[in-house]
Amino acid sequence: MKKLINDPAEVVADALTGMAAVHPDMLTIHRNPDFIRRRNSPVAGKVALVSGGGSGHEPMHGGFVGIGMLDAACPGAVFTSPSANQIQAAAAAVATEAGVLFIVKNYTGDRLNFTMAAEWLADDGIPCEVVLVDDDVAVENSTHTAGRRGTGATVLVEKIAGAAAEQGRSLLAVAQLARRVNAGARSMGLALTSSTVPHVGSPNFVIGDAEVELGVGIHGEPGRRRIPHAPVKELVALLSEAVIGDLPFVAGDRVIAFTNGLGGTPLIELYIAAGELAACCAAHGLTVARSLAGSYITALEMAGCTITLLRVDDEMLELWDAPVTTAALRW
């Protein structure tokens, strides 16, 4: 597979060098251990938001570092959790007396490394809260699995909690809000193609030209089932039925509707999917209060999308609308 890389072993390092070159006004890049921090952080009196995870999901999380969102992001190797030591170093670099909030997608490796880093921070007297994001309805939450995965809701949690932290709210208040956002969000995705981890060199899984993987994970983990390819109207209807039925969202709910590209799907197709999602919401009596469409949580070059709905109240909407200046999200 052709990739715009120099050396598979240097993909993350080279990308960080590039981020430093493109966004010197917003970001500072630290190497060994690797983390991306908000320029001029720590911000006095503000709860520091730190996230991270495997690389390959860009712009998440480094693209969300900046005013109104994250203070630091830790990139692991592609599709591999950052280490606890790396997370601790990033948190220590941006921490204030107001404390540190970790926003963690619910994958075993991420959860363990962030939890461990949180314990170490607490040992050093830095107050720390961990919020898990687990919005993917494709994985049933049972005692037989590690639980639901974190996907699209991560962006919504980071934006809304980031705005709350920027207002100077307390660690506990920001953590509770972040948990409330996660609790009101549900997502599901589909893949049209697989993706190739640079240092592996071959696709994670194989999917036929006429097939769609329904409920795919953002690392190419298997989903609920494989179905014949169909018009996007039918595919988005399948995703939104699963998402709406799970919370469940009910007529009269106001939502943020987020259509996310997985890396290999052009914006023109995402707009079509977003339009179908809006239609599905309308058919269920949901009011789309705000929308977001674009590739924010990717799986390298995978074609496909995830859809996320978040039930919002006035407070969440006000925080969603608050100014944000990051590499990937700004208004």
Partner 1 sequence: MLLSHSDTIRWIQRYRDLIADNVDELNKLDAAIGDGDFGASMQRGLNAVVAVLGPGEPDSIGKLLHTVGTTLVSAMGGTSGPLVGTVFTKMARVVGDVDAVEASALVVAFRAAADGVGVLGGAERGDKTMLDSLLPAVEAMEAVVGGDHTLQTVLHSAAEAARTGAERTIELHARKGRASYVGSGGVGCIDPGATGMRYMFAALHDVVGEGIHYSEGTQ
Residues with catalytic function: 57, 219
User: Residue 258 and residue 293: Cα distance in Å, rounded?
Assistant: 6
User: Residue 126 and residue 121: Cα distance in Å, rounded?
Assistant: 5
User: Residue 245 and residue 243: Cα distance in Å, rounded?
Assistant: 6
User: Residue 214 and residue 21: Cα distance in Å, rounded?
Assistant: 38
The side-by-side arrangement of strands in the sheet containing 304-311 is: 225-228, 211-214, 185-191, 304-311, 254-261, 287-294
CB of 144 to partner 1, least distance (A): 5
By C-beta, is 33 or 275 nearer to partner 1?
Answer: 33
CB of 167 to partner 1, least distance (A): 33
By C-beta, is 76 or 162 nearer to partner 1?
Answer: 76
By C-beta, is 86 or 196 nearer to partner 1?
Answer: 86
- Residue 47 near residue 162, CB atoms below 8 Å: no
Positions touching partner 1 (CB under 8 A) are 76, 80-81, 83-86, 108-109, 112-113, 115-116, 143-146, 221
| Tokens coding 282 | 């309308």
CB of 34 to partner 1, least distance (A): 12
User: Residue 86 and residue 73: Cα distance in Å, rounded?
Assistant: 10
Nearest to 292 by CA among 244, 314, 324: 324
What number of residues does the chain have? 331
CB of 196 to partner 1, least distance (A): 16
CB of 201 to partner 1, least distance (A): 16
User: Residue 65 and residue 329: Cα distance in Å, rounded?
Assistant: 9
By C-beta, is 113 or 308 nearer to partner 1?
Answer: 113
By C-beta, is 43 or 116 nearer to partner 1?
Answer: 116
